[in-house]
């Protein structure tokens, strides 16, 4: 496991953390709502894309320079900040203090607009940026040039899919924010379809993505069938299969029957493949004569429309969006 320290003085800055894959739901959304931490406690991920000020618009830098930064369509400002920032949950930080003059935000916290706002308490070196404002996942981004990796305990073993499913570790705190990885998955399906119609298998996938795919892609003959596949679920005979991305390694589960795998956040995939069993609480006793029951309807699945912002965020970072048919979909939105 890693322990990150200050490059200036060597002071310990983090708890021991284990490397995991960069979350597929990195897009920010849900304005006016405080988000949970992006990463579980005790873990870290590395973001290869530049992040932090100075910020520039895509038309300032040009299409070629934007592509070098991993942006292939206009979506917000482009960063000229450092690449390979180290992402952690805020609670895993140690020995740092907030730089007050860099603590700007929108309304509920800090959004990192001013660059590194955490300094080493031992030597005052700015080492990272904390973000916790509304519309942002709570996260700390360590500047790679300002930190060093210190010796830590042995790395956690890589869990197999059977272990992930058996322990229930795939079902976690995303809950009401699952529309964000749903928007990411929608973008991946649209790209994998290559502009062809998509027929969604009845069930939870259709409830989640069917309406949006029907609006974005044409109808007609030659439709590609979409369904789930993965560990403990099986492999239906279909053209496109939504498969989970391993939370630690970032590898997609691979089908064996030749279907095209489409990556999906493992927590969202598990919610669709193995919906949690929700029961209504039993009622004891009875009601007085003449009083009628007024129970609420059974809970409806959480499914709602995939996040439009996450859909566009994902497409803007995929080279395929430069194809005319897909750029038209991108400009139209979700």
Instruction: Tell me, letter by letter, the H, E, C secondary structure of the chain.
Output: CEEEEECCCCCECECCEEECCCCCCCCCCCCCCCCCECCCCCEEEEECCCCCCCEECHHHHHHHHHHHCCCCCCCCCEECCCCCEEEECHHHECCEEECHHHCCCCCCCCCCCCCCCEEECCCCCEEEEEECCCCCCEEEEECHHHEEEECCCCCCCCCCHHHHHHHCCCCCCCHHHCHHHHHHHHHHHHHHHCCCCEEECCCHHHHHHHHHHHHHCCCCCCCEEEEECECCCECCCCCEEEEEECCCCCCECCCCCCCEEEEEEHHHHHHHHCCCCCCCCCCCCCCCCCCCCCCCCCCCCCCCCCCHHHHHHHHHCCHHHHCHHHHHHHHHCC
Q: How does pLDDT run across 101-147, given as a tens digit for each residue? A: 999 888 889 998 889 999 999 999 999 999 999 888 999 999 999 99
Neighbours of 310 (CB within 10 A): 26
User: Which range among 49-63, 98-112, 285-299 shows the weakest confidence by mean pLDDT?
Assistant: 285-299
Where residue 256 falls among pLDDT bands split at 50, 70, 90?
Answer: confident
Contact 197, 325 (CB under 8 A): no
Beta-strand relationship, 260-265 and 240-245: parallel
**pLDDT value at 333 more than 70:** no
Where residue 300 falls among pLDDT bands split at 50, 70, 90?
Answer: low
Phi first, then psi, for residue 322 (nearest 5°) are: -75, -10
Q: What is the mean pLDDT of residues 144-155?
A: 94
Q: What is the pLDDT of residue 279?
A: 47
User: Which range among 121-125, 158-162, 304-308 shows the weakest confidence by mean pLDDT?
Assistant: 304-308
Q: What is the pLDDT of residue 100?
A: 94
**pLDDT value at 287 more than 70:** no
Q: Supply the mean pLDDT for the chain.
A: 89
User: Which range among 128-142, 184-198, 288-302 shows the weakest confidence by mean pLDDT?
Assistant: 288-302
Q: What is the pLDDT of residue 165?
A: 85
C-alpha dihedral sign at 95, 101, 105, 108: positive
Structure tokens at 125: 């070196």
Task: For residues 38 and 23, give the distance between their C-alpha atoms in angstroms, rounded to a whole number.
Answer: 8
**pLDDT value at 295 more than 70:** no
**pLDDT value at 148 more than 70:** yes
**pLDDT value at 185 more than 80:** yes
Length of the chain: 334
Q: What is the pLDDT of residue 315?
A: 96
Where residue 178 falls among pLDDT bands split at 50, 70, 90?
Answer: confident
Q: What is the pLDDT of residue 332?
A: 86
Task: For residues 205 and 306, give the distance between their C-alpha atoms in angstroms, rounded to a whole number.
Answer: 11
Q: What is the pLDDT of residue 11?
A: 98
- pTM for this structure? 0.88
Q: What is the pLDDT of residue 289?
A: 75
**pLDDT value at 225 more than 60:** yes
**pLDDT value at 28 more than 80:** no
Q: What is the pLDDT of residue 107?
A: 84
**pLDDT value at 184 more than 70:** yes
User: Which range among 149-158, 211-220, 284-293 shows the weakest confidence by mean pLDDT?
Assistant: 284-293
């Amino acid at each position: 496991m890693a322990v990150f320290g200050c490059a200036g003085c060597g002071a310990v800055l983090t708890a021991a953390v284990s490397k995991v894959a960069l979350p597929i739901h990195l897009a920010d959304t849900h304005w006016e709502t405080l988000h949970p931490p992006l990463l579980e406690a005790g873990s870290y991920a590395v973001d290869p894309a530049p992040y932090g000020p100075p910020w520039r618009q895509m038309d300032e830098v040009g299409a070629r320079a934007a592509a070098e930064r991993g942006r292939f369509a206009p979506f917000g400002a482009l960063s000229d900040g450092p690449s390979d920032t180290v992402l952690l949950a805020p609670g895993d930080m140690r020995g740092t203090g907030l730089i007050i003059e860099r603590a700007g935000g929108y309304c509920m916290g800090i959004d990192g607009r001013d660059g590194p706002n955490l300094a080493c308490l031992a030597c005052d070196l700015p080492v990272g940026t904390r973000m916790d404002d509304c519309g942002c996942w709570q996260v700390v981004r360590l500047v790679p040039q300002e930190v060093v990796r210190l010796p830590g305990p042995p790395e956690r073993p890589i869990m197999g899919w059977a272990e992930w499913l058996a322990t229930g570790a795939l079902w976690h705190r995303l809950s009401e924010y699952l529309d964000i990885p749903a928007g990411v998955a929608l973008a991946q399906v649209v790209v994998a379809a290559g502009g062809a119609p998509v027929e969604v298998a009845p069930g939870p996938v259709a409830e989640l993505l069917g309406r949006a795919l029907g609006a974005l892609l044409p109808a007609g003959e030659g439709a590609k069938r979409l369904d789930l596949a993965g560990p403990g679920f099986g492999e239906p005979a279909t053209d496109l299969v939504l498969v989970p991305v391993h939370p630690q390694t970032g590898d997609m589960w691979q089908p064996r029957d030749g279907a095209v795998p489409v990556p999906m956040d493992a927590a969202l995939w598990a919610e669709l493949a193995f919906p949690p069993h929700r029961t209504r609480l039993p009622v004891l006793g009875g009601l007085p004569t003449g009083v009628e029951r007024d129970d609420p309807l059974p809970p409806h699945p959480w499914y709602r429309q995939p996040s439009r912002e996450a859909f566009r965020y994902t497409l803007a970072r995929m080279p395929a969006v430069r194809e005319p048919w897909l750029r038209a979909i991108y400009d139209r939105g979700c």
